[in-house]
Structure 1
């Protein structure tokens, strides 16, 4: 299950979302091509990624911000930017440009601290914007619980795009973070599940004042949990099946 787009148009140009995407993408292009050896790249990550043990000892506090703009690979970056693109423009539309930027950064710091809490002595560096984006998703859930999100369902050779309410997609995503966090050792690296869950709840809590200003339950009654703008309609809702081919698999690097 993979989200592709929502049906919730934005009433204004999301300049901050564009800025954040550009910062992450251009930064990745720079540091992924600028270091001639693996050792020099590792030193870069060690300097700007968040190491929980260092934070626990009161060091490296600036990395709570810098780690949000570093990614572990192309797919890590691409997945995060897709989620930011889908959910970020509507939150920026509701909050305004500068408040949304502050909201995003606070969610990212809160998510990282949640990860540090889960593994305070870990020496594994933490990178990625997913904690901040999880906060955006938490705010989106509160503001637009019934907004339609198109998700791609992949079952071996069956591909289908279906629209579902945001609260189902985001609820399932949040449940996956809890199950993943309960079954993973944060000291060994991999997916930072508790950073995702922590960022989600920070974003949800920070959005509550905006939701109250909009009218709270009356806002939901007025919009029925849908976007405040007319929904966008898409004509294509199906991807054709892909036939299986008897071709030998090609070797390649591990993906994260």
Structure 2
């Protein structure tokens, strides 16, 4: 078993309001609608029950009495049949509402765990509203993709899995160097928590957990086609978004030249001074790596933190090490060494982290920098002595 339980790095000082709203909405639907209805028998006078029985009867044993059948049917089963998306009887409202219905608490909890792990990074990259709208789009795309293979089926499709698979597709493109913390279990012999590359974990999810069962026609009540459709829509959306972002950066550069606006490097320094992350990340692709050597330590540290938040861990590391190489002997290296120590610590490279943190202590003139280095070194010593 391979179960994701966390990821790194994550956006710092950022609140993923849309992700939290979606998680809250899914839990609210379950608590106030789904669960109460599972505890109630079906209403014998509900017209939807008659439709559900017409659908259900051919799929049950012929010798099952009608009374026994009715005793087994909960009000939630009828509600799902009425409001879940059915490829054989598509309704626009079902297309949206089905994204917030779940078959059980475990079904809901698993989906929300994935959304909590991956959603904040993707929301940080896209922005709150685009992320929310693209979440819904991926859910709809996943449902329609699934319906291609079940065109006349009246079995209702419910769950946020397709939309969340779309979020995973965005994550796969946006954050190739992120690490996923995974609970790995080979019952009953092996249990461990390990960090694996994001693309390895997400590739396993797509191919082993979904494509292979889909090709083997082993559903078991799981809509693998919806998961695959959602993931593909996320991949496509991320590629289009990246292309649009790069095109906007190029157009901004051309306009700056035509209107004799400041050169890209000056625009970067201005954005750093104003703490304008979006402007800095827009102009960054227009600069050569050698241009960045002219930044001071504070600017380099801030820019590296933004690059890390976008999932480019290796690029941030190279930016910081380039500063150390270019400014050897400078009195401003403590902050850079501290950042390098943090990156190595987050990656689990404790020996390398300790080296950089000691360098930060030796060159630190700021008490805050020195205290942070001391705290991290203490944590490393504690971890190494366990």
Give matches, 1:1-256, under 5 Å. Answer: 1-11=2-12, 12-35=14-37, 36-37=40-41, 38-55=73-90, 60-157=91-188, 158-176=190-208, 177-184=210-217, 190-215=221-246, 226=312, 233=346
If the length of structure 2 is used for normalisation, what is the TM-score? 0.55
Gaps of 5+ in 2: 42-72, 248-284, 290-306, 317-341, 349-378, 380-386
In structure 2, the CA distance between the partners of 1:173 and 1:33, relative to structure 1 (3 Å rule), is closer
What's the Cα RMSD here?
2.7
Equivalent in the alignment of 2:49: none
Q: Deviations over 1:63-100 (max 9, x none)?
A: 11100000000110010000000100011101111110
CA distance, structure 1, for counterparts of residue 120 and residue 107 of structure 2:
20
Q: Deviations over 1:41-70 (max 9, x none)?
A: 122112221111112xxxx12111100000
CA distance, structure 2, for counterparts of residue 225 and residue 40 of structure 1:
45
Check whether the contact 2:85–2:95 (CA below 8 A) recurs between aligned residues: yes
More moved, 33-42 vs 140-149: 33-42
State the Cα distance separating 1:209 from its structure 2 match: 2.9
Q: Deviations over 1:175-229 (max 9, x none)?
A: 021111111266xx6110110010001011111232234549x69x977963588
CA distance, structure 1, for counterparts of residue 120 and residue 137 of structure 2:
17
Which is helix-richer, 1 or 2? 2
In structure 2, the CA distance between the partners of 1:168 and 1:93, relative to structure 1 (3 Å rule), is same
- Larger RCO of the pair (alpha carbons < 8 Å, separation 6+): 1
Q: Deviations over 1:228-255 (max 9, x none)?
A: 88768388xxxxxxxxxxxxxxxxxxxx
CA distance, structure 2, for counterparts of residue 214 and residue 14 of structure 1:
21
If the length of structure 1 is used for normalisation, what is the TM-score? 0.81
State the Cα distance separating 1:124 from its structure 2 match: 1.1
Gaps of 5+ in 1: 236-256
Secondary structure in structure 2 of the residue aligned to 1:53: coil
